[in-house]
Chain A
Amino acid sequence: MNPKKLISHICCDNHGEGPSVYDLPLPKSLREEWLRLASRRHFLGRMGKTLGWAGLAVLMGDKLLAGAASAAEPPLPSPEALHLPNFPPAAKRCIYLFMSGAPPQMDMWDYKPGLSALYDKDLPDSVRGNQPLTGMTAGQARFPIAPSHWKFSQQGNAGRWVGDLLPWTGKMVDDLTLVYSLQTDAINHEPAILLMNTGNMVPGKPSLGAWLSYGLGSMNENLPTFVVLNSALIPHSNQQPISPKLWGSGFLSNEYAGVAFRSEGTPVLYLDNPPGLSSATRRELVDAVNAINQLTYDELGDPETHTRIQEYEMAFRMQTSVPELADMGDEPASTWTLYGEDAKKAGTFAHNCLLARRMAERGVRFTQIYQRGWDVHGDVVGMLPKLCSATDRGSYALVTDLKRRGMLDDTLVVWGGEFGRTVYSQGGLSKDNYGRDHHPRCFTVWMSGGGAKPGIAYGETDEYCYNIVRDPVPVRDFNATLLHLMGIDHERLTFKFQGLDQKLTGVLLAKVVTGLLS
């Protein structure tokens, strides 16, 4: 290429590709002076870019660009900035015993003596109304009423009727707040369990525990604020899957998500230092990794990087705190007489209840224990006694233990599933056995301690245990009540996401059920 041909004018630099004024046979000082001068070309070029950016700014809105400029600022309001609790809480911590799969309320809690006379009679259409059923029973030719196989007996000072399958829990009915009238909007497990745990049937919302961690913060910096304990499976039970989205933090920072402990072996894997690695070396390693992560955070401002730093720190501190927590050698003999020998076996429900009590002592804000297997579509008579015996004593022991240790005053215990079960039998009904399908219209949960009114039964279902006739409690109202007991106005614990001030209780009108408060 002939350079001289390309240059049509000495000012032209041919877009930087061809020879420029630098290539001309001029004294160096003159060439530099020339280049310092802004030519019309430079002027127009720069002006065009400026206008382009200005146009882009208008199109994108100033927030996006401003966001890029101030990325290193704290991305979320910290729990301190939220100034919670809104009022002095009745409960400082909460233990939620989640019966995944949905226990049959009329076999355990909601006593319906009139049903035995209706054995194998059809459930009147007027009771069912136009309710869509699940695919599992929608095709059934008839809906025969299955009275409970078990007897009920009166317990406690109030003479409350409790199913004989719950000999232990029945003993403490005076300490319980029974709610017969919970109702949910979902008829299948996944949406229903999400609704109970996160306030929304669609995945991606923060769970109750994550909201509490975010809103109230940690009480013990050496342990997670929100711990999940998955109990060992009960053989032959019909288990529904549960997954971390039930204890996830959704759009909140990941540091507020629940930390799931294992049900077998050590609660947290790889917590011990490998042979030859001292704690001091581990500390240096964590410091170095955190320093690198901090550089990344300063540069990009991604809150997830910050979460990662927190997690490294938490893991390091848990190296000492978790073994101490899990070592139950310091428990007095009275503990084992209360919880039973079963509690010595890691992973059992009773063991997890004891672990939850130990965590409550050490300042874990929220513990959620899952027990799967309650999905009794068939063989209720065979399965339900196993499920009850696996959970009955642990629930009783936990509440009783908290009470005698003076902790029930400020610890809230909640027991419940994601919906109820139908009064009519799924599949064949015989005198010896029956099945029960999903039933969202009513189910029973209980609370204890932490400001819940002890010894009451709230709400009432009809004689078929099918519809609520008095004081229905939608899930959102129940969750609003739980937040209230923890000192939080559910309307005020919000987080702006996708253009909405998101909250646990959702967009429908939710209210605190004052009848449940002491």
Chain B
Amino acid sequence: MPLRVRAWMVALGIAAIFPLPILLLQAPPDGLQRAELAQFLGRFHPLAVHIPIALLLLVPLLECAALAREQRHLRQSVDFVLGLAAAATIASAWLGWMLAWSGGYEGSLVTRHMWGGFSLAVASLACWGLYGWKRSAYALAMLATVGLLIWTSDQGGKLTHGDSFLTEHAPDPLRRWLGYKRPPAVDPTSFYAMRVQPIFEEKCVLCHNAGKFKGKLRLDTYEHVMRGGKDGPVIQPGEPGKSELFRRVTLPPESKDFMPAEAKPALSGPEIKVIEKWIVAGATTHIADAEIQGLLPSSEEKAPAAPLTADYRPQSQTIATLESTLGIRLVPRSQNPTDGLILRTDSAPTRCNDATLEQLAPVANLIVDAELARTQVTDKGMQAVANFSNLRFLDLSKTAVTSAGVKELTKLEKLERLNLTQTRVTRAGLAAAKMNPRLKGLYLFEAH
């Protein structure tokens, strides 16, 4: 190829990469996602880079092979391969910039890799330019280019796979020789591993991982959690109030700094509590799950509500039969099956009498709330009601129940509210009955 043509083509190549450093400085990757098409094309970068890598490595191979007399013809290919490599490097660098700019990347690693890619494009072009001009300069340039290639590829690999990808499973002697320390193993029974990391993985890691670490923060391993982000550490052991991570997740959801951002699911109250506990306890991986319990004042712990009754669902068949034969309803108090049933008679109060209550024996311990107002029940039926061992609320207003019937109800230890409005119960009779001390609401309006 005439030198003049080569010079023109090198100039063309320079023109093609000239805008790249300007874009790198003017529009650095800032963690935002944009431009669908750029993302689409950009994602071919990890695929396309292997072409210039292979071609650039092929050049020294060809040169070495051509040292042997019978392979000398291979030297003729070098020019072509090198030219192709330069062109492919430039194209790959452009794709790489598209990916970085539009794909939500940011941080020093990606910036280093981008400058590496740009330098590599310049270097490979220089090699090709020098090839037709000065052999010794070419040889030196080629050597430097291969070195640069290895470094840049390494940076790129770390971007995609994480920086410990290659060394993670290296044999210990090699690791020592390389100067890598194995990160201290996280005890799988520790509070951190069992409770904290799963929260990060569910709610945070989508944006704070090896490939896409918004705010330069990664939360996928303990080391990274403690290392922090671009504004420094996010965890201050012992001080949740001073820990940026804790502050962010406890802000009002409307706040600009609230995490998780972009309306992703927020941390629940118990999850926040777990993180708070962990930070208070020193934010380590050494404390076992069992030890950390009780480090906070117990008043902040909300004890899980004890089941009011057994699960009603195994009795569903019985309940359906009772409902259809007795004309009453047995309604779950909530979607929690251990919150018990309401005995509801509003649709046909006159159908409900003492016999009805007796037939409810199979579900007696499931009834928490008995709405018996305006029914036909009498004192006799109260013997059956007394077997509703989990009864909390009982409404007997406008029934024929008297003080004698109420006496039966003293067995109901859990009764909280008893409505005797417009019944024939007397105050004296009630006083004699000695209801359980839990009874908070007792209504005797218009009773005799």
Contacts and interface: CB of A to CB of B under 8 A. Distances in A.
Is B truly associated with A? yes
Interface of A: 83-89, 219-222, 332, 334, 361-363, 404-407, 409-410, 487, 509
B397 A487 contact: no
10 contacts: A88-B339, A220-B346, A220-B347, A222-B347, A405-B419, A406-B417, A406-B441, A406-B445, A409-B441, A487-B334
Given A405-B421, A405-B445, A406-B441, A509 B344 contact: no
B421 A406 contact: yes
A457 B20 CA distance: 64
B336 interface: yes
Contacts of B445: 404-406
B366 to A, nearest CB: 14
Contacts of B395: 406
Contacts of A221: 347
Contact of B346 (A83, A219, A409): A219
B86 interface: no
Given A85-B335, A87-B334, A332-B422, 8 more contacts: A83-B335, A86-B334, A88-B339, A222-B347, A363-B347, A406-B441, A410-B393, A509-B253
Nearest to B417: A409
Contacts of A404: 421, 443, 445
B254 interface: yes
B373 interface: yes
Nearest to A321: B347
Contacts of B393: 410
Nearest to B346: A363
A361 B373 contact: yes
A59 to B, nearest CB: 25
A145 B120 CA distance: 76
Contacts of B227: none
Interface string B299-338: 0000000000000000000000000000000000111100
A219 B344 contact: yes
Contact of B446 (A220, A334, A363): A334
B374 interface: yes
B112 to A, nearest CB: 41
Top 5 closest pairs, chain A to chain B, by CB: A406-B443, A363-B346, A220-B346, A406-B419, A83-B335
A88 B254 CA distance: 30
Interface string B337-359: 00100001011000000000000
Q: Tell me if A's interface is mostly helix, strand, loop or mixed.
A: loop
B253 A405 contact: no
Contacts of B397: 405-406
Contacts of A363: 344, 346-347
Nearest to A221: B347
A98 B123 CA distance: 80
A133 to B, nearest CB: 28
Nearest to A405: B421
A487 B346 CA distance: 20
Contacts of A222: 347
B371 to A, nearest CB: 8
Q: Tell me if B's interface is mostly helix, strand, loop or mixed.
A: loop
Contacts of B373: 361
Nearest to B340: A88
A362 B346 contact: yes
A84 B443 contact: no
Contacts of B422: 332
Interface string B401-429: 00000000000000001010110000000
A406 B425 CA distance: 15
Contacts of A87: 334-336, 339
A227 B373 CA distance: 21
Contacts of A407: 419
Given A405-B421, A406-B417, A406-B419, A361 B374 contact: yes
A334 B446 CA distance: 9
A382 B125 CA distance: 93
A86 B336 CA distance: 8
A386 B30 CA distance: 66
Contacts of B339: 87-88
Contacts of A409: 417, 441
Most A CB within 10 A of own CB, among B333, B335, B339, B441: B335
A300 B445 CA distance: 53
A175 to B, nearest CB: 14
Contacts of A88: 333-334, 336, 339
Nearest to A401: B445
A333 to B, nearest CB: 10
B443 A405 contact: yes
A357 to B, nearest CB: 12
Most B CB within 10 A of own CB, among A221, A405, A410: A405
A221 B327 CA distance: 11
A77 to B, nearest CB: 14
A407 B253 CA distance: 38
A2 B445 CA distance: 100
A162 to B, nearest CB: 26
B422 to A, nearest CB: 8
Nearest to B347: A221
Contacts of A405: 397, 419, 421, 443, 445
Interface in B343-388: 344, 346-347, 373-374
B330 to A, nearest CB: 13
Contact of B254 (A220, A487, A509): A509
A332 B417 contact: no
A398 B46 CA distance: 74
Contacts of A83: 335
B1 to A, nearest CB: 55
B34 to A, nearest CB: 26
A85 B446 contact: no
Contacts of A406: 395, 397, 417, 419, 421, 441, 443, 445
Contacts of B346: 219-220, 362-363
A509 B421 CA distance: 43
B335 A84 contact: yes
Most A CB within 10 A of own CB, among B347, B373, B422, B441: B347
Most B CB within 10 A of own CB, among A88, A220, A405: A88
Nearest to A406: B443
B446 to A, nearest CB: 6
A88 B374 CA distance: 24
A313 to B, nearest CB: 13
Interface string B238-257: 00000000000000011000
Most B CB within 10 A of own CB, among A89, A219, A220, A406: A406
A23 B419 CA distance: 90
B421 to A, nearest CB: 5
Contacts of B333: 85, 88
Contacts of A334: 446
A87 B334 CA distance: 5
Contacts of B253: 509
A407 B347 CA distance: 18
A332 B448 CA distance: 13
A198 B443 CA distance: 36
Contacts of A361: 373-374
Contacts of B443: 404-406
B334 A332 contact: no
A137 to B, nearest CB: 32
A335 B440 CA distance: 25
A361 B254 CA distance: 43
A27 to B, nearest CB: 67
A330 to B, nearest CB: 9
A208 B344 CA distance: 24
Nearest to B368: A88
Contact of A86 (B254, B335, B419, B441): B335
A403 to B, nearest CB: 9
Interface string B424-448: 0000000000000000010101100
Contacts of B417: 406, 409
Nearest to A87: B334
B370 to A, nearest CB: 13
A30 B374 CA distance: 82
